[in-house]
Amino acid sequence: MTAKTFDTIIIGAGQAGPPLAGRLTAAGMSVALIERKLVGGTCVNTGCMPTKAMVASAYAAHLARRAADYGVTLSGLVGVDYRAIKARKDKVSNDARGNLESWIAGMDHCTLYRGHARFVTANTVRVGDDLLTAEKIFLNTGGRASVPDLPGVNDISYLTNSSMMDLDVLPRHLVVVGGSYVSLEFAQMFRRFGSEVTVIEKSPRLIAREDEDVSAAILSILENEGITVHLGADEIRFAKQGNEIAVTFTAGKAPAVGSHVLLALGRTPNTDDLNLDKAGVEVDKRGFIVVDDQLRTSVPGIWAMGDCNGKGAFTHTSYNDYEIVAANLLDNDPRKVSDRIEAYALYTDPPLGRCGMTETAVRKSGRRALVGLRPMTRVGRAVEKGETQGFMKILVDADTKEILGCSVLGPGGDEAIHCVLDLMYAKAPVSTLARATHIHPNVSELLPTIAQELKPLA
Protein backbone atom coordinates (compact mmCIF):
# COMPACT_ATOMS: atom_id res chain seq x y z
CA MET A 1 0.00 0.00 0.00
CA THR A 2 1.26 3.45 -0.96
CA ALA A 3 0.91 6.29 1.56
CA LYS A 4 1.24 9.90 0.49
CA THR A 5 0.57 13.28 2.08
CA PHE A 6 -0.94 16.27 0.24
CA ASP A 7 -1.91 19.74 1.34
CA THR A 8 -5.46 19.11 0.16
CA ILE A 9 -7.65 16.26 -1.09
CA ILE A 10 -10.66 16.83 -3.34
CA ILE A 11 -13.08 13.92 -3.72
CA GLY A 12 -15.07 14.29 -6.92
CA ALA A 13 -14.20 16.01 -10.20
CA GLY A 14 -17.59 17.56 -10.94
CA GLN A 15 -18.24 21.27 -11.33
CA ALA A 16 -16.62 22.44 -8.09
CA GLY A 17 -13.65 20.08 -7.78
CA PRO A 18 -11.46 20.93 -10.80
CA PRO A 19 -11.70 24.74 -10.51
CA LEU A 20 -10.90 24.49 -6.80
CA ALA A 21 -7.91 22.32 -7.67
CA GLY A 22 -6.81 25.03 -10.09
CA ARG A 23 -7.02 27.76 -7.44
CA LEU A 24 -5.30 25.68 -4.77
CA THR A 25 -2.41 24.57 -6.98
CA ALA A 26 -1.96 28.14 -8.24
CA ALA A 27 -1.62 29.12 -4.56
CA GLY A 28 1.23 26.62 -4.23
CA MET A 29 -0.64 23.75 -2.58
CA SER A 30 -0.37 20.09 -3.54
CA VAL A 31 -3.73 18.54 -4.47
CA ALA A 32 -4.99 14.98 -4.80
CA LEU A 33 -8.09 15.03 -7.00
CA ILE A 34 -10.06 11.78 -6.84
CA GLU A 35 -12.70 10.70 -9.36
CA ARG A 36 -14.34 7.28 -9.34
CA LYS A 37 -15.95 7.51 -12.78
CA LEU A 38 -15.90 10.35 -15.32
CA VAL A 39 -14.27 13.74 -14.93
CA GLY A 40 -16.85 16.51 -15.25
CA GLY A 41 -19.56 14.92 -13.15
CA THR A 42 -23.24 14.92 -14.01
CA CYS A 43 -23.24 18.16 -16.00
CA VAL A 44 -20.66 17.14 -18.58
CA ASN A 45 -21.49 13.45 -18.84
CA THR A 46 -25.18 12.79 -18.19
CA GLY A 47 -26.75 16.15 -17.42
CA CYS A 48 -26.60 19.66 -18.81
CA MET A 49 -24.33 19.31 -21.81
CA PRO A 50 -25.58 16.07 -23.39
CA THR A 51 -29.24 16.71 -22.65
CA LYS A 52 -29.18 20.26 -23.99
CA ALA A 53 -27.45 18.97 -27.12
CA MET A 54 -30.42 16.64 -27.52
CA VAL A 55 -32.87 19.47 -26.79
CA ALA A 56 -31.23 21.37 -29.66
CA SER A 57 -31.77 18.40 -32.01
CA ALA A 58 -35.39 18.11 -30.86
CA TYR A 59 -35.94 21.82 -31.51
CA ALA A 60 -34.52 21.48 -35.03
CA ALA A 61 -36.93 18.62 -35.76
CA HIS A 62 -39.87 20.56 -34.32
CA LEU A 63 -39.03 23.69 -36.31
CA ALA A 64 -38.63 21.69 -39.51
CA ARG A 65 -42.11 20.25 -39.03
CA ARG A 66 -43.40 23.81 -38.65
CA ALA A 67 -41.58 25.03 -41.76
CA ALA A 68 -44.84 25.78 -43.59
CA ASP A 69 -45.81 28.20 -40.79
CA TYR A 70 -42.88 30.34 -41.91
CA GLY A 71 -43.53 30.00 -45.63
CA VAL A 72 -40.81 27.40 -46.07
CA THR A 73 -41.51 24.27 -48.10
CA LEU A 74 -39.84 20.93 -47.51
CA SER A 75 -40.16 17.90 -49.73
CA GLY A 76 -41.36 14.82 -47.85
CA LEU A 77 -41.75 14.13 -44.15
CA VAL A 78 -39.24 15.29 -41.56
CA GLY A 79 -37.26 12.30 -40.36
CA VAL A 80 -35.08 11.74 -37.31
CA ASP A 81 -31.86 9.72 -37.24
CA TYR A 82 -31.62 8.93 -33.54
CA ARG A 83 -28.17 7.34 -33.80
CA ALA A 84 -26.89 10.56 -35.39
CA ILE A 85 -28.52 12.57 -32.60
CA LYS A 86 -26.79 10.38 -30.04
CA ALA A 87 -23.46 10.68 -31.87
CA ARG A 88 -23.73 14.47 -31.84
CA LYS A 89 -24.64 14.44 -28.17
CA ASP A 90 -21.73 12.13 -27.37
CA LYS A 91 -19.27 14.38 -29.20
CA VAL A 92 -20.39 17.45 -27.26
CA SER A 93 -19.97 15.58 -23.98
CA ASN A 94 -16.73 13.81 -24.88
CA ASP A 95 -15.09 16.99 -26.15
CA ALA A 96 -15.98 18.84 -22.94
CA ARG A 97 -14.66 16.00 -20.77
CA GLY A 98 -11.47 15.77 -22.82
CA ASN A 99 -10.83 19.49 -22.44
CA LEU A 100 -11.36 19.23 -18.70
CA GLU A 101 -9.00 16.27 -18.41
CA SER A 102 -6.34 18.20 -20.34
CA TRP A 103 -6.73 21.18 -18.02
CA ILE A 104 -6.33 19.00 -14.94
CA ALA A 105 -3.32 17.24 -16.42
CA GLY A 106 -1.67 20.62 -16.96
CA MET A 107 -2.01 21.71 -13.32
CA ASP A 108 1.27 21.71 -11.43
CA HIS A 109 1.16 19.83 -8.12
CA CYS A 110 -2.18 18.15 -8.92
CA THR A 111 -2.40 14.34 -8.99
CA LEU A 112 -5.55 12.76 -10.43
CA TYR A 113 -6.52 9.46 -8.81
CA ARG A 114 -9.06 7.19 -10.49
CA GLY A 115 -11.05 5.16 -8.01
CA HIS A 116 -13.52 5.06 -5.15
CA ALA A 117 -12.50 7.17 -2.16
CA ARG A 118 -13.42 6.16 1.37
CA PHE A 119 -12.54 7.83 4.66
CA VAL A 120 -10.26 6.01 7.06
CA THR A 121 -10.01 8.91 9.52
CA ALA A 122 -10.98 12.58 9.40
CA ASN A 123 -7.84 13.41 7.42
CA THR A 124 -7.05 10.13 5.66
CA VAL A 125 -8.69 8.63 2.57
CA ARG A 126 -8.18 5.26 0.91
CA VAL A 127 -8.34 4.96 -2.90
CA GLY A 128 -7.64 1.42 -4.02
CA ASP A 129 -4.14 0.61 -2.72
CA ASP A 130 -3.33 4.27 -2.02
CA LEU A 131 -3.65 5.88 1.40
CA LEU A 132 -3.85 9.67 1.11
CA THR A 133 -3.61 12.18 3.95
CA ALA A 134 -4.29 15.93 4.01
CA GLU A 135 -5.18 18.65 6.49
CA LYS A 136 -7.97 19.92 4.22
CA ILE A 137 -10.48 17.68 2.41
CA PHE A 138 -13.20 18.86 0.04
CA LEU A 139 -16.16 16.68 -0.94
CA ASN A 140 -17.73 17.16 -4.39
CA THR A 141 -19.31 13.76 -4.87
CA GLY A 142 -22.57 14.82 -6.54
CA GLY A 143 -25.75 12.79 -6.70
CA ARG A 144 -27.62 10.16 -8.68
CA ALA A 145 -31.17 9.38 -9.71
CA SER A 146 -33.42 8.15 -6.93
CA VAL A 147 -35.17 4.82 -7.49
CA PRO A 148 -38.06 4.50 -5.03
CA ASP A 149 -39.17 1.05 -3.95
CA LEU A 150 -42.36 1.05 -6.01
CA PRO A 151 -44.21 -2.25 -6.60
CA GLY A 152 -42.68 -4.15 -9.51
CA VAL A 153 -39.85 -1.71 -10.15
CA ASN A 154 -37.23 -4.42 -9.65
CA ASP A 155 -38.99 -6.69 -12.14
CA ILE A 156 -38.54 -4.35 -15.12
CA SER A 157 -35.74 -2.71 -17.05
CA TYR A 158 -36.06 1.00 -16.35
CA LEU A 159 -34.10 4.06 -17.44
CA THR A 160 -32.79 7.00 -15.40
CA ASN A 161 -31.45 10.32 -16.63
CA SER A 162 -27.99 8.70 -16.78
CA SER A 163 -28.88 5.51 -18.65
CA MET A 164 -31.00 7.54 -21.10
CA MET A 165 -27.69 8.86 -22.39
CA ASP A 166 -26.68 5.34 -23.46
CA LEU A 167 -29.95 4.59 -25.25
CA ASP A 168 -29.25 4.02 -28.95
CA VAL A 169 -32.77 3.25 -30.18
CA LEU A 170 -35.76 5.56 -30.33
CA PRO A 171 -38.50 4.33 -27.97
CA ARG A 172 -41.83 3.47 -29.54
CA HIS A 173 -43.57 4.69 -26.40
CA LEU A 174 -41.66 6.35 -23.55
CA VAL A 175 -43.49 6.34 -20.21
CA VAL A 176 -42.01 8.99 -17.92
CA VAL A 177 -42.72 8.55 -14.23
CA GLY A 178 -42.34 11.93 -12.56
CA GLY A 179 -43.50 15.39 -13.57
CA SER A 180 -40.66 17.70 -12.61
CA TYR A 181 -37.80 19.38 -14.46
CA VAL A 182 -35.74 16.47 -15.78
CA SER A 183 -38.79 14.43 -16.74
CA LEU A 184 -40.43 17.21 -18.73
CA GLU A 185 -37.30 17.96 -20.75
CA PHE A 186 -37.01 14.30 -21.74
CA ALA A 187 -40.74 14.02 -22.40
CA GLN A 188 -40.78 16.90 -24.86
CA MET A 189 -37.55 16.02 -26.65
CA PHE A 190 -38.55 12.40 -27.25
CA ARG A 191 -41.98 13.40 -28.42
CA ARG A 192 -40.27 15.66 -30.96
CA PHE A 193 -38.01 12.79 -31.99
CA GLY A 194 -41.17 10.84 -32.81
CA SER A 195 -41.86 8.69 -29.74
CA GLU A 196 -45.26 8.40 -28.16
CA VAL A 197 -44.85 9.89 -24.68
CA THR A 198 -46.87 9.56 -21.49
CA VAL A 199 -46.04 11.44 -18.27
CA ILE A 200 -47.30 10.07 -14.94
CA GLU A 201 -47.10 12.43 -11.95
CA LYS A 202 -48.28 11.79 -8.41
CA SER A 203 -48.89 15.45 -7.59
CA PRO A 204 -52.03 17.29 -8.77
CA ARG A 205 -49.91 19.42 -11.12
CA LEU A 206 -46.58 19.41 -12.93
CA ILE A 207 -43.45 21.03 -11.44
CA ALA A 208 -45.31 21.58 -8.18
CA ARG A 209 -42.71 23.97 -6.75
CA GLU A 210 -43.72 26.52 -9.39
CA ASP A 211 -46.75 28.78 -9.30
CA GLU A 212 -50.00 27.31 -10.56
CA ASP A 213 -50.06 29.55 -13.64
CA VAL A 214 -46.58 28.33 -14.64
CA SER A 215 -47.56 24.69 -14.09
CA ALA A 216 -50.74 25.12 -16.12
CA ALA A 217 -48.89 26.80 -18.98
CA ILE A 218 -46.26 24.05 -19.13
CA LEU A 219 -49.02 21.41 -19.13
CA SER A 220 -50.72 23.14 -22.04
CA ILE A 221 -47.46 23.34 -24.00
CA LEU A 222 -46.79 19.62 -23.58
CA GLU A 223 -50.34 18.51 -24.33
CA ASN A 224 -50.40 20.69 -27.45
CA GLU A 225 -47.49 18.59 -28.74
CA GLY A 226 -49.37 15.35 -28.20
CA ILE A 227 -47.90 14.30 -24.85
CA THR A 228 -50.33 12.46 -22.58
CA VAL A 229 -50.13 13.66 -18.98
CA HIS A 230 -51.72 11.92 -15.99
CA LEU A 231 -51.79 13.96 -12.76
CA GLY A 232 -52.72 12.84 -9.25
CA ALA A 233 -51.50 9.33 -10.09
CA ASP A 234 -51.30 7.30 -6.88
CA GLU A 235 -50.46 3.63 -6.36
CA ILE A 236 -47.95 3.47 -9.21
CA ARG A 237 -46.77 -0.04 -10.01
CA PHE A 238 -44.91 -1.78 -12.83
CA ALA A 239 -45.24 -5.15 -14.58
CA LYS A 240 -43.85 -6.81 -17.68
CA GLN A 241 -46.36 -7.21 -20.48
CA GLY A 242 -44.77 -9.28 -23.18
CA ASN A 243 -41.81 -7.28 -24.48
CA GLU A 244 -43.22 -4.09 -23.04
CA ILE A 245 -43.87 -2.56 -19.62
CA ALA A 246 -47.24 -1.74 -18.12
CA VAL A 247 -47.42 1.12 -15.64
CA THR A 248 -50.61 1.12 -13.62
CA PHE A 249 -51.73 3.89 -11.31
CA THR A 250 -54.76 5.09 -9.38
CA ALA A 251 -57.68 2.67 -9.55
CA GLY A 252 -59.99 3.24 -12.50
CA LYS A 253 -57.40 4.41 -15.04
CA ALA A 254 -56.06 2.24 -17.83
CA PRO A 255 -52.37 1.35 -17.59
CA ALA A 256 -49.78 3.04 -19.78
CA VAL A 257 -48.00 0.36 -21.78
CA GLY A 258 -44.63 1.49 -23.07
CA SER A 259 -41.54 0.14 -24.75
CA HIS A 260 -39.38 2.08 -22.28
CA VAL A 261 -39.88 3.55 -18.81
CA LEU A 262 -37.93 6.54 -17.48
CA LEU A 263 -37.86 7.07 -13.73
CA ALA A 264 -37.41 10.76 -12.95
CA LEU A 265 -38.27 10.89 -9.27
CA GLY A 266 -35.63 13.06 -7.68
CA ARG A 267 -31.97 12.76 -6.74
CA THR A 268 -29.99 10.99 -4.01
CA PRO A 269 -26.63 12.34 -2.78
CA ASN A 270 -23.55 10.17 -3.33
CA THR A 271 -22.63 10.03 0.33
CA ASP A 272 -23.66 6.55 1.44
CA ASP A 273 -20.41 4.79 0.50
CA LEU A 274 -17.76 7.30 1.60
CA ASN A 275 -17.42 5.97 5.18
CA LEU A 276 -18.35 9.43 6.45
CA ASP A 277 -18.96 7.97 9.89
CA LYS A 278 -15.26 7.20 10.21
CA ALA A 279 -14.53 10.88 9.68
CA GLY A 280 -17.39 12.01 11.91
CA VAL A 281 -19.07 13.99 9.13
CA GLU A 282 -22.74 14.66 9.89
CA VAL A 283 -25.45 13.97 7.31
CA ASP A 284 -29.16 14.71 7.44
CA LYS A 285 -31.98 12.15 7.19
CA ARG A 286 -31.84 12.26 3.38
CA GLY A 287 -28.09 11.67 3.27
CA PHE A 288 -27.03 15.23 2.43
CA ILE A 289 -23.88 16.43 4.15
CA VAL A 290 -24.68 19.09 6.75
CA VAL A 291 -22.74 22.31 6.08
CA ASP A 292 -22.71 25.84 7.46
CA ASP A 293 -23.07 29.06 5.47
CA GLN A 294 -19.48 28.76 4.22
CA LEU A 295 -19.78 25.07 3.35
CA ARG A 296 -17.83 23.72 6.32
CA THR A 297 -18.99 20.34 7.58
CA SER A 298 -19.31 19.25 11.19
CA VAL A 299 -15.62 18.26 11.11
CA PRO A 300 -12.96 21.01 11.03
CA GLY A 301 -10.91 20.77 7.85
CA ILE A 302 -13.63 19.11 5.75
CA TRP A 303 -15.90 21.00 3.35
CA ALA A 304 -18.74 19.81 1.07
CA MET A 305 -19.61 21.38 -2.28
CA GLY A 306 -22.23 20.73 -4.93
CA ASP A 307 -25.18 18.35 -4.99
CA CYS A 308 -23.97 16.31 -2.01
CA ASN A 309 -24.64 19.17 0.45
CA GLY A 310 -28.31 19.80 -0.40
CA LYS A 311 -27.76 23.54 -0.86
CA GLY A 312 -28.54 23.45 -4.57
CA ALA A 313 -28.97 20.86 -7.28
CA PHE A 314 -27.56 22.78 -10.22
CA THR A 315 -24.25 23.17 -12.00
CA HIS A 316 -24.24 26.90 -11.29
CA THR A 317 -24.79 26.39 -7.54
CA SER A 318 -22.01 23.80 -7.44
CA TYR A 319 -19.64 26.19 -9.19
CA ASN A 320 -20.70 28.97 -6.82
CA ASP A 321 -19.91 26.64 -3.92
CA TYR A 322 -16.34 26.46 -5.24
CA GLU A 323 -16.24 30.26 -5.44
CA ILE A 324 -17.44 30.58 -1.84
CA VAL A 325 -14.84 28.10 -0.54
CA ALA A 326 -12.00 29.67 -2.55
CA ALA A 327 -12.97 33.19 -1.53
CA ASN A 328 -12.90 32.32 2.17
CA LEU A 329 -9.73 30.23 2.06
CA LEU A 330 -7.61 32.23 -0.36
CA ASP A 331 -9.01 35.74 -0.75
CA ASN A 332 -10.05 36.75 2.77
CA ASP A 333 -13.48 37.36 1.26
CA PRO A 334 -16.29 36.11 3.57
CA ARG A 335 -18.71 34.95 0.88
CA LYS A 336 -21.55 32.70 2.00
CA VAL A 337 -24.34 30.52 0.64
CA SER A 338 -27.09 32.73 2.03
CA ASP A 339 -25.95 35.54 -0.29
CA ARG A 340 -27.13 33.42 -3.22
CA ILE A 341 -30.45 34.18 -4.93
CA GLU A 342 -32.27 31.09 -6.08
CA ALA A 343 -32.26 30.92 -9.87
CA TYR A 344 -32.66 28.13 -12.41
CA ALA A 345 -34.21 27.20 -15.73
CA LEU A 346 -36.42 24.49 -17.18
CA TYR A 347 -35.17 23.65 -20.68
CA THR A 348 -38.41 22.79 -22.34
CA ASP A 349 -39.32 24.77 -25.45
CA PRO A 350 -40.12 27.48 -24.67
CA PRO A 351 -37.80 27.51 -21.66
CA LEU A 352 -38.68 28.76 -18.20
CA GLY A 353 -36.29 31.12 -16.44
CA ARG A 354 -36.87 31.63 -12.70
CA CYS A 355 -35.26 33.74 -10.01
CA GLY A 356 -36.13 34.73 -6.47
CA MET A 357 -39.50 34.10 -4.85
CA THR A 358 -42.55 32.57 -6.47
CA GLU A 359 -45.92 34.26 -6.17
CA THR A 360 -46.94 31.51 -3.75
CA ALA A 361 -43.94 32.26 -1.52
CA VAL A 362 -44.63 36.00 -1.63
CA ARG A 363 -48.23 35.43 -0.53
CA LYS A 364 -47.10 33.17 2.31
CA SER A 365 -44.64 35.83 3.48
CA GLY A 366 -47.55 38.16 4.26
CA ARG A 367 -45.86 41.21 2.78
CA ARG A 368 -47.64 43.71 0.56
CA ALA A 369 -46.59 43.10 -3.01
CA LEU A 370 -47.00 44.31 -6.57
CA VAL A 371 -47.16 42.11 -9.66
CA GLY A 372 -46.61 42.71 -13.35
CA LEU A 373 -47.71 40.20 -15.97
CA ARG A 374 -47.46 40.07 -19.76
CA PRO A 375 -48.35 37.17 -22.07
CA MET A 376 -45.97 36.30 -24.88
CA THR A 377 -48.79 37.04 -27.33
CA ARG A 378 -48.08 40.70 -26.49
CA VAL A 379 -44.30 40.46 -26.96
CA GLY A 380 -43.29 41.51 -30.46
CA ARG A 381 -40.21 39.33 -30.68
CA ALA A 382 -42.20 36.24 -29.71
CA VAL A 383 -44.87 37.07 -32.30
CA GLU A 384 -42.23 37.58 -35.00
CA LYS A 385 -40.68 34.21 -34.20
CA GLY A 386 -44.06 32.47 -34.12
CA GLU A 387 -43.41 31.33 -30.55
CA THR A 388 -46.08 32.96 -28.39
CA GLN A 389 -46.66 30.37 -25.68
CA GLY A 390 -45.94 31.51 -22.13
CA PHE A 391 -45.72 34.77 -20.20
CA MET A 392 -43.52 36.98 -18.00
CA LYS A 393 -44.25 37.85 -14.38
CA ILE A 394 -42.42 40.15 -11.96
CA LEU A 395 -43.06 40.36 -8.21
CA VAL A 396 -42.10 43.46 -6.20
CA ASP A 397 -42.26 44.48 -2.54
CA ALA A 398 -44.89 47.25 -2.41
CA ASP A 399 -43.12 49.15 0.39
CA THR A 400 -39.41 48.88 -0.47
CA LYS A 401 -39.83 48.47 -4.26
CA GLU A 402 -37.35 45.57 -4.03
CA ILE A 403 -37.71 42.99 -6.80
CA LEU A 404 -38.74 39.75 -5.11
CA GLY A 405 -38.86 37.33 -8.02
CA CYS A 406 -39.50 36.77 -11.69
CA SER A 407 -40.67 34.07 -14.07
CA VAL A 408 -40.05 34.19 -17.81
CA LEU A 409 -41.70 31.37 -19.74
CA GLY A 410 -41.16 32.00 -23.41
CA PRO A 411 -38.52 32.22 -26.15
CA GLY A 412 -35.17 33.06 -24.57
CA GLY A 413 -36.64 32.90 -21.08
CA ASP A 414 -33.50 31.20 -19.76
CA GLU A 415 -31.45 34.20 -20.94
CA ALA A 416 -33.89 37.07 -20.34
CA ILE A 417 -34.25 36.17 -16.67
CA HIS A 418 -30.73 37.47 -15.99
CA CYS A 419 -31.88 41.04 -16.61
CA VAL A 420 -33.88 40.74 -13.40
CA LEU A 421 -31.48 38.47 -11.52
CA ASP A 422 -28.57 40.89 -11.88
CA LEU A 423 -30.70 43.79 -10.61
CA MET A 424 -31.68 41.68 -7.60
CA TYR A 425 -28.00 41.06 -6.81
CA ALA A 426 -27.37 44.80 -7.16
CA LYS A 427 -30.28 45.40 -4.76
CA ALA A 428 -31.62 47.93 -7.24
CA PRO A 429 -35.26 49.02 -6.91
CA VAL A 430 -37.74 48.10 -9.62
CA SER A 431 -37.57 51.72 -10.86
CA THR A 432 -34.10 50.94 -12.19
CA LEU A 433 -35.60 48.29 -14.44
CA ALA A 434 -38.53 50.52 -15.37
CA ARG A 435 -36.16 53.27 -16.57
CA ALA A 436 -33.85 50.95 -18.54
CA THR A 437 -33.75 51.11 -22.33
CA HIS A 438 -33.51 47.61 -23.76
CA ILE A 439 -32.74 46.64 -27.34
CA HIS A 440 -35.65 46.27 -29.76
CA PRO A 441 -36.83 43.78 -30.88
CA ASN A 442 -36.18 41.46 -27.97
CA VAL A 443 -38.15 39.47 -25.44
CA SER A 444 -36.40 41.22 -22.54
CA GLU A 445 -37.33 44.68 -23.84
CA LEU A 446 -40.79 44.16 -22.33
CA LEU A 447 -39.42 43.73 -18.81
CA PRO A 448 -39.14 47.52 -18.29
CA THR A 449 -42.69 47.86 -19.61
CA ILE A 450 -43.94 45.30 -17.09
CA ALA A 451 -42.09 47.18 -14.35
CA GLN A 452 -44.02 50.32 -15.32
CA GLU A 453 -47.39 48.53 -15.13
CA LEU A 454 -47.28 46.92 -11.69
CA LYS A 455 -50.53 46.37 -9.83
CA PRO A 456 -51.26 45.26 -6.26
CA LEU A 457 -51.07 41.52 -5.77
CA ALA A 458 -54.65 40.70 -4.82
Phi-psi category of residue 7: left, alpha or beta, with phi > 0 → left and psi -120 to 50 → alpha: alpha
Bridge partners, 249 (sequence order): none
The enclosing H or E element of 344 equals: strand 343-346
Bridge partners, 373 (sequence order): 393
Helix (H, G, I), strand (E, B) or coil at 347: coil
Alpha-carbon gap, residue 456 to 306, rounded angstroms: 38
For 378-412, letters b (16+ CB in 10 Å) and e give ebebbeebebbbbbbbbbbbeeebbbbbbbbbbbb
Rounded to a whole number, what is the distance in angstroms from the first to the last CA of the chain? 68
Give whole-number Cα distances, 135 to 7, 33, 122, 300, 303, in Å: 6, 14, 9, 9, 11
Alpha-carbon gap, residue 242 to 68, rounded angstroms: 41
Active site residue 116: no
Catalytic residue among 109, 116, 316, 440: 440
Residue 84: which residues within 8 A CB-CB, separation 6 or more? Answer: none
The enclosing H or E element of 318 equals: helix 315-330
Distance of CA 115 to the CA centre of its chain: 26
Bridge partners, 33 (sequence order): 10, 112
On whether the CB atoms of residues 387 and 416 are closer than 8 A, the answer is: no
Q: Phi, psi (5° rounding) for residue 71?
A: 80, 20
Alpha-carbon gap, residue 25 to 33, rounded angstroms: 11
Catalytic residue positions?
440
